[in-house]
Amino acid sequence: MVKKVVTKTVTETTHDNPSNNPSKKKVIKKKTPSSKPKQMTAREREQLLIENFVGLQHAMTNLSMKFGNLSQNIQTLLQVFEEAAKNFMQGPTQKDNEGMLKKIDSLLDQNKTIAKGLVLMEENLRNKPHAEEPRHEQAHFHQVPPQTSRNSFSPENTSEDSTTEQTRIKPKPLPRI
């Protein structure tokens, strides 16, 4: 075993002679032996090895059980994929297609009905004179102040009519199906 070396530094201050260095340093080295690890007896080693071996066997048993569960899960997943592939190769059934087509047709009819209603509402709003419209609808559909919008539709102000049409928000046309 190697002995441990300990270094101790002591500093003393002396005021006797101001021209000399006021502090002195002394270095003292002490050698102390390090503590030895306790030697294990043969019986203790055997007991420790037995405990480690039992723990290792326990861990290996758990690991093998988990691998067994994993292989069963993978096998089940593989069966699901095989069944899905068989169903995919057979093609979709006629009942599935008919049900989906009926739903799409009903959605298409609903969309057409809504589109017709929106077109009728738009035509009604365009043909309706502004004097009959309530104020809250004017503010909703037009970006111009109410005074300008009333004057712009009079027959005398045809030059202002084109500028008012440009400032109006125009609805986007509905998509054609």
Q: In the predicted model, is pLDDT for residue 28 greater than 70?
A: no
Run of H or E residues at 101: helix 94-127
Spacing of C-alpha 51 from chain mean position: 47
Determine the pLDDT at residue 118: 92
Spacing of C-alpha 19 from chain mean position: 75
Determine the pLDDT at residue 157: 47
Q: In the predicted model, is pLDDT for residue 89 greater than 90?
A: no
Q: In the predicted model, is pLDDT for residue 1 greater than 50?
A: no
- CA gap 13, 6 in Å, rounded: 23
